[in-house]
Amino acid sequence: MDKAKIVELLNKDLQDEHGAIIQYLNHAYGIGEGEMACEIEAMARDEMRHLDWLAETIVELGGTPSLERGTMRMGGALVTDWMKNDVRLEEGAIVQYKEHINLIDDAKIKRLLQRILSDEEAHHGKFEHFVEKAQKKGTKDVRGSRQDKTAQTLNWGIEHEYTVILQYLLHSYMSSNEEAKEQLADQAINEMQHLGWLAEELVGGGGNPKIEHTEVDRSTKPADRLRADIEIEKEVAEAYDQAAKETEDPDLRKLLHRIRDNEIYHIDVFNDLLKEEEEEK
């Protein structure tokens, strides 16, 4: 099988990992606190690792990682229904990985997919257990319908964080500079933390996190990518600062200031990388 076809198959796997991450995070936030929510978030982190491995492999093959979301099963009014959807999602992933393992003749990539498959089989068993657990406990959706300015601010923050997670990951994967690759990946991880903090704050206040993103920068030149990253960080640091001034909730103000300060740090990191990039030319 030629590289282009392998990239096509791996991007399909990557898209489905992306979809699984968002599905599981939605379900974890909907359940709220407790062991089940924590375990589902842990499985979402497993899927994040899978996405990372697949993206790196795609780049090694000369391809570009897709940012699209693949299969998702978001229906259902009850937590039991969500867990059944998660079981079905894992069943589809297991079938697909087995198919791709059989189709791809590269031994290294086969091993990678087999490694991911073992996680998906474990997840499948976990979600089957959670179906029974949710039925016994009568677990309910803890999210509310709050739509005030605070809820809108938090959902705006979630949208931004999701966007830059994708942007920094893509820029990291496509970078040939090892320092830039590492720093971009590190800042993406920090943005993942921000998304979690904001989502938990929103759920705790009676809101419902909307995990959607806006346009992601896809510049091909390293300097252009870093300038785009700096620009978006400047805009959002100012927005978080303004939101902190407007809120009367001291705990929320503290959270917004913490995220703002993290974004300012990102600006400094990206400026250093841009300076090094320009000096090398």
What CA–CA distance (Å, rounded) separates 155 from 211? 8
- Do 100 and 155 have their domain in common? no
Residues 43, 45, 51, 53: is their CA dihedral positive or negative?
negative
- Do 173 and 81 have their domain in common? no
What CA–CA distance (Å, rounded) separates 153 from 236? 12
- Do 38 and 132 have their domain in common? yes
Helices 222-246 and 178-204 sit at what angle, rounded to 10 degrees?
30
Give the helix/strand (H/E) hosting 9.
helix 3-31
In the prediction, which pLDDT does 228 show? 97
As a 3-state breakdown, the chain gives helix, strand, coil percent values, each rounded to 5, of: 80, 0, 20
- Do 188 and 272 have their domain in common? yes
Residue 143 lies in a domain: no
- Do 66 and 155 have their domain in common? no
What CA–CA distance (Å, rounded) separates 252 from 229? 25
- Residue 2 corresponds to which amino acid? D
Give the largest CA-CA distance in the chain.
Answer: 64
**Residue stretches of the chain with pLDDT short of 70:** 281
Residue 142 lies in a domain: no
- Residue 6 corresponds to which amino acid? I
Residue 265 lies in a domain: yes
- Do 170 and 119 have their domain in common? no
Residue 202 lies in a domain: yes
Provide the whole-model pTM. 0.94
- Do 186 and 118 have their domain in common? no
Number of domains in the chain: 2
- Do 113 and 237 have their domain in common? no
In 32-106, which ranges are continuous DSSP H helix?
35-60, 79-103
In the prediction, which pLDDT does 138 show? 79
- From 80, 111, 137, the end of a domain falls on 137
What CA–CA distance (Å, rounded) separates 24 from 22? 6
Question: Residue 22 has which token pair?
Answer: 């968002």
In the prediction, which pLDDT does 65 show? 98
- From 137, 164, 197, the end of a domain falls on 137
In the prediction, which pLDDT does 111 show? 98
98: exposed, middle or buried (Cβ count in 10 Å: 0-12, 13-18, 19+):
middle
Write out the residue range of the structural domain in which residue 189 sits.
149-280
Question: Residue 219 has which token pair?
Answer: 């510049």
Q: Three-state secondary structure along 195-252?
A: HHHHHHHHHHCCCCCCCCCCCCCCCCCHHHHHHHHHHHHHHHHHHHHHHHHHCCCHHH
- Do 131 and 153 have their domain in common? no
- Do 155 and 133 have their domain in common? no
- Residue 250 corresponds to which amino acid? P
What CA–CA distance (Å, rounded) separates 1 from 205? 52
- Do 121 and 158 have their domain in common? no
In the prediction, which pLDDT does 281 show? 66
Residue 28 lies in a domain: yes
- Do 235 and 159 have their domain in common? yes
Tell which residue, 126, 104, 124, has the closest CA to residue 35: 126
Task: Look up the CATH number of the domain holding residue 182.
Answer: 1.20.1260.10
What CA–CA distance (Å, rounded) separates 192 from 68? 18
- From 113, 137, 161, the end of a domain falls on 137
Residue 144 lies in a domain: no
In the prediction, which pLDDT does 77 show? 86
